[in-house]
Structure 1
Amino acid sequence: MAQPGDLVIQRPEGLYCPPGDFYIDPWRPVARAVITHAHADHARYGHGHYLAAAPAEGVLRSRLGDIHLQTLPYGEAIEHHGVRLSLHPAGHVLGSAQVRLEHAGRVWVASGDYKVAPDRTCAPFEPVRCDVFITESTFGLPIYRWRPDDEIFADINAWWSANVLAGRASVLACYSFGKAQRILSGVDPSIGPIVVHGAVRPLNDAYRAAGVPLPETQMVTEVMDRADLRRALVLCPPSAVASTWLRRFGDTSTAFASGWMQLRGARRRGGYDRGFILSDHADWPGLLGAIGATGAQRVIVTHGSVPVMVRYLQEQGLEAEGFETEYGDDVVEADAAAAQEPAA
């Protein structure tokens, strides 16, 4: 329930800061938008002015084109209409940020999407002390508990190696922004060539331009020896697995890398041969640890398992409530990227 003097409230356009007169990740066009990261449900076209963390510039421009973008280094503060604003690493994807707001002696933090697990491709999550914490809860159920990345990458490498011996391509469906680059950073490129879908390539370019090392990749049209396709690891959005694009690889084994693979039946419903549980969001212990590290006594929960998380936090003695937002899961992001980018 909104309280007098709240630094962030709900409006039809999105999450609004009344004293600062700006929005955080608005879903309708506004004059001033603070963007936590470049996924399509958080960074939309049509705002008058964008503010984002400096490492996000390349991916934002890759996705949104020519926008009026102001960037801010992590930890550096600016003041707008008396609100002191700074951006802090969220560990979700390249350039992802939590938004810290300070006004009249109160501190609020809006997390955006975040994960606490290590990731070679982006700055690690940084707990920020605050009075009120707005947290995501995409995987806000106790069943979600992630294994270490090294174990998952070892599983992917073993699957890829087995497919090379069998003479079939290893097609790994993953979100084009964030997940694909994280996988590239962890797999063993000596196993075979790596081919990426047209939705993935511009994001790879943006990551490399930001100084993130990634192994060499090719588009399918750049592969001269067709035999290489039978040894390849192929990274593509989920929508591409059901398209005619896949036919050019011949015999394939398909897999999907996502936190949703922890649910029984998710792999079967998608028609994948394998599922790798790899998420760019915090799991249940990660969410609780991040919330606890803020020291916040009031927590506002957004997209995901909101009622479960709110109830649990209330049982722990915190003041908890939910915000209704139009942020979706990353499947929406993946399909949007596939539709907007060339498939070649």
Structure 2
Amino acid sequence: MPIVLSSATRDLLGLKESPNLVTVSPGEQAEIAGIQVEAHNAGHILGSLQFRIHLDKTVVYTGDFNLEPRIILKPASILTADILIIEATYGHPRYVFPPRSELYPRIVEKVLEYISEGSAATLAARPLGVSQELTAVLSLSKISVPIVHEKIWKYNVLYEKHGENLGSYLVYRSERYLRKKPVIVPLSAKRGKIVCTGWSIANKNGVPLSSHSDFAGIVKYVKNSGAEKVYTVYGFAKDLAEYILNELGLSSTPLERSNR
């Protein structure tokens, strides 16, 4: 079975062109085994797509998505469907994030606090996704040219190759260059003073900046999709399915991963 993906996703995965790969752009269609598949922007990370599949009924699979406008990337559009398969990464009511209009100034304020103390303002985020957003935010703020870890830099280069403007930044080389600078490192480094992920919503040193839609965004998608049946996947799939059934009155089922 062919793999349908965007050219940006192909680059991120380091894949070469192959008869087994069907490369599409948002808004394009592909025919797979006689089935029409529409590709649409998912707004999650560079190249992310959601799909509408035309069977007897229309099926939409969102994959990871984000509806919120950001400093980089276009937000996802809500696709209408008879059957909706939607991600539930933040599919619990506790995960409702402030808008970017509040989060961006909060990030800049926290960075300035550390710099004023004479130390590095270390921000931890996933290397692919939030780190590129942070690069653009800090570059635009003009506090100081941000420094990014090499693992983040390699993704920054691909974002720029595909037309995303991240502004000016430097690549982390040595500890001696970090004083009084904003520095973006991978979450796995476990050294971030400012932790930028949706999971840090209750962390006083965290900023709930995520490349996924929050709970409110997920519910908005479900409500506006027109779907008569909803399947939830990943994360809080069970909690979200129960909410959709009990609060929205729609038939909803969590899709569990098989252990086999």
The verdict on a shared fold, with TM-score over 0.5 as the criterion, is yes
Residues 90, 147 of structure 1: alpha-carbon distance in 2 compared, 3 angstrom cutoff: same
RMSD of aligned alpha carbons: 2.0
Give the count of matched residue pairs: 254
Provide the C-alpha distance between the structure 2 equivalents of 1:239 and 1:208, rounded to a whole number of angstroms.
24
Q: How far does the alpha carbon of each residue in 1:67-106 deviate from its partner, in whole angstroms, 9 at most, with x for none?
A: 6343101111121222001111111111111111112x32
Show the counterpart of 1:125: 76
1:19-30 correspondence to structure 2 within 5 Å: 22=1
**Among candidates 298, 308, 319, match of residue 251 of structure 2:** 319
Cα distance in 2 for partners of 1:300, 1:153 equals: 33
Alignment partner of 1:109 is 2:48: no
275, 287, 294: which one aligns with 2:225: 294
What per-residue deviation string (whole Å, max 9, x for no partner) do you get for residues 20-71 of structure 1? xx4xxxxxxxxx33xxxxxxxxxxxxxxxxx21244343232xxx4463431
Question: Is residue 256 from structure 1 mapped to residue 195 from structure 2 by the alignment?
Answer: yes
Is 1:277 aligned to residue 216 of structure 2?
Answer: no
CA contact (8 A) 2:108 2:141 kept: no
TM-score normalized with structure 1 length: 0.69
Q: Which residue of 2 aligns with 1:303?
A: 234
37, 48, 73: which is aligned to 1:85? 37
Q: Which runs of 5+ in 1 are unaligned?
A: 1-21, 23-31, 34-50, 243-252, 268-272, 327-344
The amino acid of 1:70's aligned partner reads: V
Q: 1:218 aligns with which of 154, 158, 170?
A: 170
Q: Which residue of 2 aligns with 1:334?
A: none
Match of 1:137 among 67, 84, 88: 88
User: What is the distance in 2 between the residues matched to 1:235 and 1:298?
Assistant: 41
Q: Percent identity?
A: 26
2:32 and 2:137 mapped to 1: Cα distance?
Answer: 40
Compared with structure 1, are the counterparts of its residues 215 and 189 closer, same or farther at alpha carbon in structure 2 (3 Å cutoff)? farther
Q: Deviations over 1:164-218 (max 9, x none)?
A: 2211001100000010011122224521131111210110000000110012222
Secondary structure at the aligned position of 1:235 is classed as strand
Counterpart of 1:94, as a letter, is: L
C-alpha distance in 1 between matches for 2:231 and 2:170: 43
- Where do residues 33-48 of structure 1 align in structure 2 (5 Å cutoff)? 33=3
2:16, 2:25 → 1: CA distance?
20
TM-score under structure 2 normalisation? 0.90
